[in-house]
Structure 1
Amino acid sequence: MHISKVDLNLFIVFEAIYAEGSITRASLKMNLTQPAISHALNRLRQLFDDPLFERQGHVMVPTPLARSIIDPVRQSLRGFEVTLNGAERFDAATSERAFSLALRDVLEASVLPPLMARVAQDAPSVGLNTLQVGRRELESELAAGTLDAAIDILLPLSNDIRRTLLATDQTVVLVRRDHPLVHGTLDLDGYLKLEHIQTSSRRRGPGLEDFELSRLGLQRRVRLRCQHYFAACRAVSQTDLALTMPERLARVVNQQFGNQILPFPLQMPSLDIYLYWHANVDNDAASVWLRDQIKQAMQAAD
């Protein structure tokens, strides 16, 4: 079937139902009536000879065919959007656009303050939404335009995803100010004598520092495993436990606790931080502006 015989608005409806999981919410999102959304869905069902969505309780669950076409549909819609936006000049001073940025929670405290300070100064009506997106979904979300950019460690993504190095970070160790065993310096033997906090969102598994220790046949004792560095820093300030973490975040989170920040007593690979975006917005004026703001904010934070 030739594309000229297909109403492309149907695919906007398809994406809205897929994203919202509900005809009611899709109608609210698109500012259309529920009968109009249902009519569009019926036309799509006839076009593909597939139900596309099946109702399970209050949720519209996509069929295998719908799951197989959602990524190319989103990429195509994003391509149209970029083409249309490319015909318009992006003016940060007057724009009311809201950008979506994928950002691990470990980076939020160090990235967001300088970035938002720049955005607030240069673009008073521009908004910023930060999200934590699974790394497996990162490429498809960038391609679909549901994400404008992402900041993360080095990831194995396709050539369609562009990247640039934003910053490098080192690993440090935190112990409380008056720790009885640590007085301004920490060697490897002293590190291994301490009890440790491991910060991770995973239920189990070693950290990067544990891999480096294991290369030498060494192992530390983890006494506490928790989810967030703020809680870990506070625990360090009130116990004799040690915390190993990225230096950039340590200097932000530790400001109110005054723990000692010491070099990790073993050679560790640097923690490289990258900015990612999709090739289809390489020359998009709004995306170029956002990437520039992120780069300058990171430079200012160093």
Structure 2
Amino acid sequence: MKNTDLNLIPIFVAIYEERNLSKSAERLGITQPAVSKALKRLRDIYNDSLFLRDSSAMLPTPRAMDIYPAMSAALSNYTSTINVNGGFDPATAERVYSFAVISGLGHTFLPFVFSHLRTLAPNIHFEIHPKFSKDTELDLRLQRYDFVIDAEHFSPSFINTHHLFDEEIVAIMNKDHPRINDEMTLAQFLAEEHTVVSGWQVRSSMMSSAHISELNSRKVAYRSSAITECLPIVEQTDLLALCSKAIVEKYLPIYDVKYFPLPLAKKHLSINLYWHPSRDNDPGHAWLKELLIQQGVLFKNSK
């Protein structure tokens, strides 16, 4: 490979991450014909199509998937030598960060983070959106959000992730539940009808058998869009619900409910931070990512 071909590395990475030639050109500040010409040169070098066009995106071939990690690492290593000082001052920065967040964290973790952020970066603002879509990779690749905070689930290897903390999950029910008194067995748990938090685009529960296998056997009678909507339903019916212990204890003075530990082997939900690797070269994004990770440790220790 000639030395001048090193210019193809950021173009390959951009196409791989954007899945679109025009978006890649916009990201790199060059013309789309220049991106197309570079892609032709890449195809000649690797003797492979690298990307195949379908109705909505440029899809990577297995060869492109193989070389992406090395290409991305090379670009990140080079860029890090340029942005050593970051060029981001949180005390004066004015910026809005967008999040897609699993239901419930807007009552616990995010207020914890934002209250700390106000002293460090008073002009940085948050936009919090419900985590409705199942396609975390697409949401981040299209930059619909800067970060996704969600329960641990399978994601492609090129989506970056960091474990923030574990959330203890409990079963809640009416304080005067007619069949469950001082304890709850697995048989009782599965015999009752449940209310669950569901996604907007799908009818599956946000806390499902993908996280805790026994939940596949629940009888779902009521679906809502937020965990706090489950609390009044539980209070006024004999339905059961799953909820973060931290949220339940916050709302016990308001709702006439009680809770029990889950009668399951797994009683915790792993909460992860997700972001797209293309954002690692953004000093402001990198700064907030590190802050979120640090706050995750503090939040875990405060519980």
Could you say which TM-score interval applies, normalised by the shorter chain? 0.5 to 0.7
Name 2:76's counterpart in structure 1: 78
Are residues 1:295 and 2:292 paired? Answer: no
Deviation at 1:223, TM superposition (A): 4.2
Aligned partners of 1:48, 1:32: CA distance in 2, in Å?
A: 23
Give CA-to-partner distance per residue, 1:156-193, whole Å, 9 cap, x none.
xx9xx9967x555433332245x46279x532269557
Q: How does 1:122-271 map to 2 (within 5 A)?
A: 122-126=120-124, 152=151, 167=165, 169-176=167-174, 179=176, 181=178, 186-188=182-184, 191-192=188-189, 194-199=192-197, 203=204, 206=209, 211=214, 222-224=219-221, 226=223, 228=225, 229-251=227-249, 254=251, 258-264=255-261, 266=263, 270-271=267-268
Q: Offset at 1:247?
A: 0.8
Kept in 1, the 8 Å contact 2:90–2:120? The answer is: yes
Match of 2:5 in 1: 6
What is the letter of the counterpart of residue 187 of structure 1? E
| Inter-partner Cα distance in structure 1 for 2:152 and 2:54 | 38
Q: CA RMSD in A?
A: 4.9
Aligned length: 277
Residue in 2 that maps onto 1:215: none
SS in 1 for 2:6: coil
Distance 2:211 2:50 in 1: 43
8 Å CA contact 1:197–1:226 kept in 2: the answer is yes
What residue in structure 1 maps to residue 109 of structure 2? 111
Note closer, same or farther for the CA distance 1:151–1:63 as it changes in structure 2 (3 Å cut).
Answer: closer
TM-score where L is the length of structure 1: 0.64
1:117-155 Cα offsets, whole Å, 9 max, x none, are 322331234466879697997xxx9xxxx9889675699
- The structural deviation recorded for 1:103 is 5.5
Equivalent position SS for 2:12: helix
Separation in 1, partners of 2:116, 2:179: 40
State the AA in 1 paired with 2:58. Answer: M
Q: What are the ranges of 5 or more consecutive residues in structure 2 without an aligned counterpart?
A: none
The C-alpha deviation readout for 1:28-74, integer Å capped at 9, x for no partner, is 23332222222222222232233322333453333332232223322
TM-score, normalised via structure 2 length: 0.64
From 12, 19, 22, the counterpart of 2:20: 22
Gaps spanning 5+ residues in structure 1: where? Answer: 213-218
Question: Does structure 1 residue 120 correspond to structure 2 residue 118?
Answer: yes
C-alpha deviation, 1:113, in angstroms: 2.0
Larger Rg: 1
Q: Work out whether residues 113 and 292 of structure 2, in 8 Å CA contact, stay in contact via their aligned partners in 1.
A: no
Q: Percent identical across equivalent pairs?
A: 22
What is the DSSP-based 3-state SS (H/G/I as helix, E as strand, rest coil) of the residue aligned with 1:86? Answer: coil
SS at match of 1:171: strand
Secondary structure of residue in 1 paired with 2:113 = helix
What is the identity, as a one-letter code, of the residue corresponding to 2:223?
A: C
CA distance in 1 between partners of 2:211 and 2:161 (Å): 26
Is 1:48 matched with 2:46?
Answer: yes
